[in-house]
Amino acid sequence: MQDFITRLPKAELHLHIEGSLEPELMFALAERNGVALPYASIEAVREAYQFDDLQSFLVLYYQGMSVLRTAEDFFDLAMDYFRRASAEGVVHVELHFDPQAHLARGIELGVVIEGLARACRLASRELDLSSALIMAFLRDRPADEAMQVLERAAPYWEMLDAIGLDSAEHGHPPQKFVEVFERARALGIARVAHAGEEGPAAYIAQALDLLDVCRIDHGVRCLEDPALVERLRALRMPLTVCPLSNVKLKVVERIDDHPLPQLLEAGLLLTINSDDPAYFGGGMRDNFLACQRAFGWSEATLLGLARNAIEVAFMDPARRSELLVRLESMA
Ligand code: ADE
Ligand code: ZN
The model's pLDDT over 142-181, given as tens digits with 9 standing for 90+, comes to 999 999 999 999 999 999 999 999 999 999 999 999 999 9
Task: State in Å: Cα 330 to ligand 2 middle.
Answer: 29
Selected catalytic residue, list 18, 169, 197, 198: 197
Cβ 209 vs Cβ 228: under 8 Å: no
Residue 253 CB partners (closer than 8 Å, separation 6+): 247
Is 24 a catalytic site residue?
Answer: no
Q: Count CB-CB contacts under 10 A for residue 144.
A: 10
Task: Write the residue with the smallest CA distance to atom 1 of ligand 1.
Answer: 167
The closest of 22, 1, 29 to 82, measured between CA atoms, is 22
Q: Which helix (H) or strand (E) holds 11?
A: strand 10-16
Predicted TM-score of the model (pTM): 0.98
**What local confidence, expressed as pLDDT, does residue 312 receive?**
98
Q: Count CB-CB contacts under 10 A for residue 249.
A: 23
Pairing between β-strand 190-195 and β-strand 162-166 as defined by DSSP bridges: parallel
Q: Measured between alpha carbons, how far is residue 290 from residues 46, 53, 181, 285, 328 in Å?
A: 20, 20, 35, 8, 23
Residue 28 CB partners (closer than 8 Å, separation 6+): none
CA dist., res. 293 & res. 149, Å (int): 42
Cβ 193 vs Cβ 164: under 8 Å: yes
**What local confidence, expressed as pLDDT, does residue 287 receive?**
98
Task: With a cut of 70, list the residues of the chain below it in pLDDT.
Answer: none
> Which residue of 57, 62, 247 sits with most ligand 1 atoms within 8 Å of its CB, as the best mutation to test the pocket?
57
**What local confidence, expressed as pLDDT, does residue 331 receive?**
86
> Which residue of 21, 54, 204 sits with most ligand 1 atoms within 8 Å of its CB, as the best mutation to test the pocket?
54
The CATH superfamily label for domain 2-328 reads Metal-dependent hydrolases (3.20.20.140)
User: How high does pLDDT run on average in the chain?
Assistant: 98
CA dist., res. 260 & res. 295, Å (int): 9
**What local confidence, expressed as pLDDT, does residue 175 receive?**
98
Cβ 312 vs Cβ 12: under 8 Å: no
- Domain spans of the chain, in order of start: 2-328
By percentage, how much of the chain surpasses pLDDT 90? Answer: 100
Task: State in Å: Cα 170 to ligand 2 middle.
Answer: 14
The closest of 120, 100, 122 to 109, measured between CA atoms, is 100
**What local confidence, expressed as pLDDT, does residue 138 receive?**
98
Burial 54-93 (b: 16+ CB within 10 A, else e): beebbebbbebbbbbbebebbbbbbbbbbebbbebbbbbb
Q: Identify the nearest ligand to the CA of 217 by its number.
A: 2
Q: Which helix (H) or strand (E) holds 269?
A: strand 269-272
CA dist., res. 232 & res. 215, Å (int): 10
Show the ligand 1 pocket: residues with CB < 6 angstroms: 16, 19, 54, 61, 166-167, 194, 197, 245, 275-276
